[in-house]
Structure 1
Amino acid sequence: MLPQHQGDGVRERHPAVTIVLGQPEHEPVRANTERPVGLRPHIERAFEATNVTIDFAGFSGETLYNAIQETLDKVRIGRLTPESIRVRVLISDMTAPMAIPCRAEDQADDPGIRARALRITDRSIHALTDAVQELADLGLVKTATIEVRVHNAAPLFKLFIINEQEAFFGFYPVVEHTVSVDGKPMAIYDAMGKDAILFPFTPSDEDTSNDALYVEQARAWFDSMWGTISREYAS
């Protein structure tokens, strides 16, 4: 299990329903960072399809790795048998200055803060890449690809698009906390993914909400970012 980054995660399901102004009512999906049980069943069900696609946009990809690793294990032992897997990951480029993470004292960029975030991202991306590519290397699926691209926008939300049919979205709250930077404690403003509530958008034939439109627009946004201002991730 990877070390848990405070900037990427979900919590246990909460009994209350959160209402977002301007959106239909959705019960938030919450799960502990180590056990993202709210998202995992949707990902596992997606792997029952012949061709699996997962698009993720967010901070480090740690939530995606934690949510998908158990499902990949089930492919490895033959309980799930997709023919192809395609994963696309769109994350912020921590080698470039951006609004967050930053020093809390003066809200200024700090290379040490970004280097810390980059190390966390590298661990998540490498683990995710190895886990997906291993399935193709072992001949368990016909094709398995993972592509990672970065952009210069600050990480303000996380988005999952599963098999182009379901979407899960959550805002990253910006909070102040103290971390170790170059061996010294430093107060920073950071995107706190563990406090992000994921809202599901899962259209159905009887659906009268805006879920289908949301998924369509989420896919269009992801593709526009992917094809314009993002670039290949270089670890």
Structure 2
Amino acid sequence: MDVASLTSETLLRHLKNQEERVVAKEIDPRKLSIRMLLPGEGRRLAYPSAGDPDDARVWERWRGMVQDHRAQLGELADRLRDMGVDTDIEIRRIPMTPQFKLYVLNGSDMLFGPYEVVRRSITLKGVDGSPQGKPVAAFDVLGAGSTLSYHRWEENEESHDSVFFASMRDWFRSNWECWTDPQIRSEGASDETP
């Protein structure tokens, strides 16, 4: 599976549901391989961001969410391996704010959804989960509720779905290959594997 997203929250939810199905012996997958593009954490994004450009708290909240999701993905991968599923999750960072989320499944099926930017108030929370101060006016996207459209690779390579599928597959491939150079990459870090 190839994935491009802002936080990996939706993917994590889906994988947890599938893990429950593996535990219940409803499914018996042999392999899970994920390549994921996430924005770099080294510089602020267009969103989520506070309305006040000098206020980094909303961005720092996003960074904490991404780090938490990455840790949960790593733990989930370990549990799946313990259940006999050959699991590989590789994350690469790109120096841009994603405009959409993309899931390419088995090279034949695709889910695509643009992020819609919204203005909203975000309540920042302390380490204990309690609210910290007044809500912050922010620009954000509501990724978990975004509409996903389904596309499929078809034998007719000139069909609407096949053309869109190929263009997005090529977009993913170019970004996956381009941002391997530590000089270009936003954090200058090596690839991450949870």
* TM > 0.5: yes
1:126 to 71, 79, 96: 71
> 3-state DSSP class of the match of 1:97?
coil
> 3-state DSSP class of the match of 1:217?
helix
Q: What is the aligned-residue identity percentage?
A: 24
- 2:2 — aligned with what? 55
**Structure 1 pair 219–163 and aligned structure 2 pair: CA distance change class (3 A):** same
Q: Deviation at 1:77? A: 3.8
2:38 to 91, 115, 136: 91
Deviations 1:117-137 (A, max 9, x none): 011112222222221232213
2:162 to 212, 215, 219: 212
Is there any run of 5+ residues in structure 2 with no aligned partner, and where?
126-131, 180-184
Deviations 1:23-75 (A, max 9, x none): xxxxxxxxxxxxxxxxxxxxxxxxxxxxxxx1111111010111222222223
Is there any run of 5+ residues in structure 1 with no aligned partner, and where?
1-53
2:112 to 138, 161, 169: 169
The answer to whether residue 100 in structure 2 is matched with residue 153 in structure 1 is no
Q: Is the 8 A contact 2:104 2:111 kept in 1?
A: yes
Q: 1: distance between equivalents of 2:30 and 2:3?
A: 21
Q: Deviation at 1:205? A: 5.0
Q: Is the 8 A contact 2:50 2:138 kept in 1?
A: yes
Deviations 1:53-105 (A, max 9, x none): x1111111010111222222223343322322101221112331222222224
- Structure 1 runs of 4+ aligned residues shifted over 4 Å read 204-208
Q: 1: distance between equivalents of 2:73 and 2:193?
A: 15
Give the partner amino acid of 1:117.
W
RMSD: 2.5
Give the TM-score taking structure 2 as reference length.
0.80
Q: Deviation at 1:144? A: 0.9
* Larger RCO: 1 or 2 (CA < 8 Å, sep 6+): 2
Q: 1: distance between equivalents of 2:80 and 2:23?
A: 7
Give the TM-score taking structure 1 as reference length.
0.67
> 3-state DSSP class of the match of 1:72?
helix
Give the partner amino acid of 1:127.
Q
- 1:116 — aligned with what? 61
Q: Is the 8 A contact 2:99 2:114 kept in 1?
A: yes
Q: 2: distance between equivalents of 1:97 and 1:194?
A: 21
Q: Is the 8 A contact 1:75 1:81 kept in 2?
A: yes
Q: 2: distance between equivalents of 1:120 and 1:113?
A: 11
Q: 2: distance between equivalents of 1:110 and 1:94?
A: 16
How many residues align? The count is: 178
Give the partner amino acid of 2:28.
T
